[in-house]
Structures are given as C-alpha cells and as structure tokens.
Amino acid sequence: MNPKLRLALIICTLALPSVLMSQSKFKYVGAKACMPCHLAPKSGAAYTVWKGSKHFGAFATLATPAAQEIAKKKGIADAQKSEACLKCHDTAAGVAAAGFAPTFKAGDGVGCESCHGPGSDYKTMQVMKDIDTGKTKGESVGLMKGDEKLCVKCHNAESPTLKSFTYAEAWKAIAHPTPKQ
C-alpha cells in the first residue's frame, strides 16, 4: 500500500472517534415541536410564555435599525447573518446541518432548545412522563435544565446592549414551571 495513503488512513482512523464524540446525537427539532404539549396551562403554558418573551423576538431584533447600527459599528455587515450576533439571538446558531431535524426552523429566536437542549429524544409525551416519574434521566435524552450559568453565556458584558442582568429578576419574566398535578 502507498505509504501516504496508509498514513492518511491511520490519521482518519485515529481522528474519527473524537469527531463523532464531539457531535451530539440529539437533534434540534424547533419550538413548534414543543408546542402541542406545552401550550396548555396544565403544562405551564411554556410555549405561550415564550411567544410573549423577548427571547421569541431575539432574531427579529437583529433586523431593526438600532441593531444594524450596532453591527455596523462592530464591522458586521448584517446582524442576522453574523455568528457573533446569532450565537445569542437564534437557537443552535453554528450547529452543523446534521444537528437539525426537518421540523427545525432557523430564525425563531431563542427557543425552547436554547435552554433545554436539542429535543429529538425527549419531545414525546411518553419520554417526558418517564422523566417526570424518574424512570428516565433527562440528561440521557438531551434535556437540560436552563440555569444562571447558561443564561450568562449571552447576558454578559460581551453584549453591546446589556444594561444589567440579574438572574432572579430575568427568570421571573420567562418562568414556565409545570404545575404539580
């Protein structure tokens, strides 16, 4: 076998496991996939809370004249296409195409999966019931619990429009706990 080909095969064989491990097996499904179960008050009306929040409009905000002016000052041609802006204004910005289910729609703002992780494996009613009863650990199916550590990845001094951020106050504006049955 050609020595260069052999070397290339060895490198690929050694690198492939780390590449595969770095990619999540969970896919982003989009907020509309969450809606059927999280629209009703008995489930906390999370979808309704989100639709009324600044998170819902985060991507659209980037098209405003004020956002475009900020982008221009930072040398960004279009805030709605810049990774620097999208990382905090749209769910899963920068994720490879393989990380999305066909139901995912870019441009929906900071959706459910920005805080709770890609929903492909926890989106069904049965899985959610199994999580609630303790039969399944949420993390094993990609479900994360949004917390202050996650929030401050975007709500920090790097944000050109941040005035102040107090997690406890911010949480009150987006809280959507599931009522106990």
Give the separation between CA 90 and CA 86, rounded to whole angstroms: 5
- Report pLDDT digits (tens) over 54-90: 999 999 999 999 999 999 999 999 999 999 999 999 9
- Report pLDDT digits (tens) over 10-58: 444 333 333 333 357 999 999 999 999 999 888 889 999 999 999 999 9
- In a 10 Å sphere around its CB, with 0-12 CB exposed, 13-18 middle and 19+ buried, how is residue 165 labelled? middle
Res 125 pLDDT > 90: yes
Beta partners for 100?
A: 28
What residues contact residue 145 under an 8 Å CB cut-off, 6+ apart? 116, 138
Res 2 pLDDT > 80: no
Show me where the domains of the chain are located: 24-174
Res 140: pLDDT: 97
Distance of CA 107 to the CA centre of its chain: 12
Query: Average pLDDT for residues 92-101, to the nearest whole number?
Result: 96
Residue with tokens 């991507």: 59
Degrees (nearest 5) of the Cα angle 29, 34, 40?
Answer: 170
Q: What superfamily in CATH does domain 24-174 come from?
A: Flavocytochrome C3; Chain A (1.10.1130.10)
Query: Average pLDDT for residues 129-139, to the nearest whole number?
Result: 96
Residue with tokens 């949420």: 138
Res 106: pLDDT: 95
Res 178: pLDDT: 80
Give the separation between CA 18 and CA 15, rounded to whole angstroms: 6
Res 23: pLDDT: 52
Q: Is the pTM of this model over 0.85?
A: no
Query: Average pLDDT for residues 104-119, to the nearest whole number?
Result: 97
Res 38: pLDDT: 93
Identify which has the larger pLDDT, 20 or 111.
111
